[in-house]
Structure 1
Amino acid sequence: MTTYPRTAAGPVPADTDLLYSDVEDDLRKELRTLLTDRCPSADLPARAETEQAHDVGLWAALAGQLGVTGLPVPMETGGAGAGWRETAVVLEELGRAAAPVPYLSSSVLATAALLAAGDDRLLPEIASGNRIAALALPFSSPPDLPFPDAVEHTDGGLSGTVTSVAGARSADLLLVPAAGDDGPGLYVVDVAAAGDTVRRTTRCSLDLTRPLTDVALNSAPGTALATGDEAERVLRRALNTGAALLASEQLGVAQWCLSTTVAYVQERHQFARPVGSFQAVKHRLADLWALLMQARAVARYAAAALDAGTADAWTAAALAKAFVSEVVVEAAEAALQLHGGIGFTWEHPVHLYLKRAKSSALALGTADRHRAALARLVDLPAARV
């Protein structure tokens, strides 16, 4: 297992260096080599037609060969002892490959919840990648969501249905928010031990590389992870962490769209000239490059602020998710259009990147929802009608 030592600690200073460290560059290089070999974009359309919940071999390599499934988990708890900045680099590369693995759901959302709860019992297995966890909430849930009550907790267990859960189809463990007579709670459900009390139904989702699953619980046994106000705090932290780091995955998707399109318009000829030599195409790609540089800055700062636990971490998360969500969709739409006829075929992977871009823009809160949250965080008064 590769180890990733931290290069800095403490609060993020005002002049934070958002450039990638040597450690992060080395991590990116290893990841890109692995993903180029095991998950080339040309193979994505064929992979999307399979019924596998995720690429089992790729997940095993990420966990065992690179050890990136537990980056933010302390070494004494079985993790790599790195942080969210390094995790953001992994997400960039996974986004660039549109990799069909449950990294966001298990290594980010579920891991963030367990770290916030201070529960070390499950972290070693999740950090090692031997078990996969999922936060049982609709994938569209924003961080400012009122505590969900779709599942009820009683003495008989957990009962209710949660729709469109990311990563649930692969999950060995479900972290289930539930309401009960004693107030809100977050419970861990071992899917294998729960047997028939947990039923999972795969939905027809927009993003074929990230299946969504409906989870029905019928008196399922659950172990309390957090209750009361603590459960609300843990859930809010997990969703904010997920939103902040999803921006890095979106950045990777947008980067693939730009670099692949630039390469294509240099090769594709029209009127005996490369398509990329036309002024309209050059201007559009130049504008897109400028947007990507801005997106990289806000995504990198969101990860850095989250890592350091600064006071503006949630502000940075809302800004990153709001801004990068629109950039990634614009990049994917431009890629589809500038690829011309081939871009509209199933055989070319660009349509899968467009679907990943659009679904991620809806995930964990839309851009509008995060802009509204950002306005509240910075005390911006509401517009008068």
Structure 2
Amino acid sequence: MWEHLSLDLLAHVFSFLPPDAVARAMAACKHWFDCARSRLPPSRQPPWLVALPARAASGRPSCYAHDPALNRWHVLPLDLFPCPLRLVAPVGSSLLCKLAASSDLRLVLLNPFTRQFRNLPDLTMPRRNPAVGIVVRGVDASSSFSVIVAGGASGSCYEPTVEMYDTGPGGWSLVGPMPVEFAVRLTVWTPNESVHALDGAMYWMTSARAYSVMGFDLGRRAWREVKAPMADRLEWAALVRRPSGKLGLVGGDGDGQGAVWELIEEDKWVAVGRVPAELGRRFWGRSKSAATRCVGGEQAVYLFRDLGSEMLVWRESSSSQIKKNKEGEETWEWRLVQGRCCMPNIPIKAALLHPTLSRSSFPASL
């Protein structure tokens, strides 16, 4: 019966399987192999944590992926690429990376699970260390997406302009000017893993004390600054997207306390979650929380320091452990996840994505 199922129906069944199970299914027969390569829809599994080294590391370059369903780590070799890559942001089921060997920004779209990659065209002008953001239209990056690049250094000056790559036209174009002081702050103080697109606007976190959020309205081409909660006390902070569709901020102070806030009005934040004291003491121990990094999305938030240490995860309770708050709403819970065993404690940059084994994970224009 299974060999006579239509590709669309079979692909729907495959979408409920984790990638390692899909990989085993692909070995069953040619019919299943062709289906998984060409028709696989977005996964219904929780997103994976995917990490790349944040700086040069000894040994073979690799990508590290954590399957939250099985609590299992996978090592994906990146020897297909001639030079080291640094993670910028997730794009659908792929990773947007930059070439570590290039002083000017040069971007690559990578699917580490299928070992596919595509080089994006060069920017309209050379830029060193600009702020980068992604806007995905449709279900995932196989539909279409835009890359927004703001600021950066050009020669001995800061570049006060914004440019955009769109998979429709397939090239870069200048969007318009930006305030010089914003260009300086985005170039010097912006970690690229902390940027989100919501309701037609891009938001970057600037890490200069005190922390603040820089917003760029794509429609009106207007910039604004949003003050961060506890801005003068935060030692680390990052932006996340909340299940409500609102902008979230995760941060902590030097005493090892962490919290999650949600932006409910133009400049008003409300706390929606705090790290339990016992878990916080175990996670941070005696070390300062300033080394903490964060990546998150609508389904989970990860706090981490390096690849070999424990990670603190905030996600929805499983169906068998649903808890209710006083208002009767479902709550999220914090838990610890083991780091990558038998690995040196190397600094990493991470992203959350739904991995796919489909060969059609890139737009046709790339």
* Smaller-chain TM-score bracket: under 0.3
Q: In proportion to residue count, which structure has more strand? A: 2
TM-score by length of 1: 0.24
TM-score by length of 2: 0.25
Q: In proportion to residue count, which structure has more helix? A: 1
Greater RCO (Cα-Cα under 8 Å, separation 6 or more): 1
